[in-house]
Amino acid sequence: FEYQRVLGKNLSLDELRLGYDTVLIALGCSQPRKLGIAGEDLPGVVYALPFLKSVRFGQSQALGRKVVVIGGGDVAVDCAQTARRLGAEEVVVISLEDDSSLPAHPNVVNGAKAEGIVFRGAWGPQAIRGQGDRLDGVQLKKCVSVFDAAANFRPVYDVCQTDFETADCVIVAIGQSADLSCLADCGIARAG
């Protein structure tokens, strides 16, 4: 273990290779995935893992009365339950999948519903709306399918069917990706 050393900052790839024939770099997925929609940078929009981490370490959260969580997995449900337990009066989970095909475990979903959390399946975020420092909510579009015929993630929307969900806070919980910046800092070309 090399404590307080960061690959590409104070630890070079050459130092890491010393004495070894093979070096495996397993970075994990620590960066939140972005929605890539308008309004995602508005105040009041937070990401799942930083939100849960801040709660874990006792940092206060100003969520407001109504929280919308975007995502359908176990982490999204965890965020919804955490927001509810922190005092949000209303929590709504928006997912591309309908209720019968949510990626979250059914027991987790049932537990959240028992706490009063509402699930709105088969909807996707089109934009996050707000004015200045005030968040208004999420513009939604109907999701008619999540996967294509080859089972690839390729959502299809009916943009004629739209809705709006008001929110004081939006938690984005659609997964994580790897932070590969240290590879560039080490001079390693990124494949793909």
pLDDT tens for each residue of 118-142: 999 999 999 999 988 789 999 999 9
What is the model's pLDDT at position 192? Answer: 46
Percent of the chain with pLDDT over 90: 65
pLDDT tens for each residue of 16-42: 777 788 877 776 666 777 888 999 999
Tell me the C-alpha distance between 77 and 89, whole Å. Answer: 16
Q: What Cα–Cα distance (Å) separates residue 54 from each residue in 50, 57, 184?
A: 6, 5, 29
pLDDT at 75 over 90: yes
Average pLDDT over the chain, rounded to an integer: 88
pLDDT tens for each residue of 80-123: 999 999 999 999 999 999 988 999 999 999 999 999 999 999 99
Residue 184, CB-side half-sphere exposure with 13 Å CA sphere: 4
Q: Average pLDDT, stretch 46-70? A: 92
Helix ranges restricted to H, the chain = 13-17, 48-56, 74-85, 106-114, 181-185
Tell me the C-alpha distance between 129 and 188, whole Å. Answer: 39
Beta strands 66-70 and 90-95, pairing class: parallel
Tell me the C-alpha distance between 117 and 127, whole Å. Answer: 22
pLDDT at 165 over 80: yes
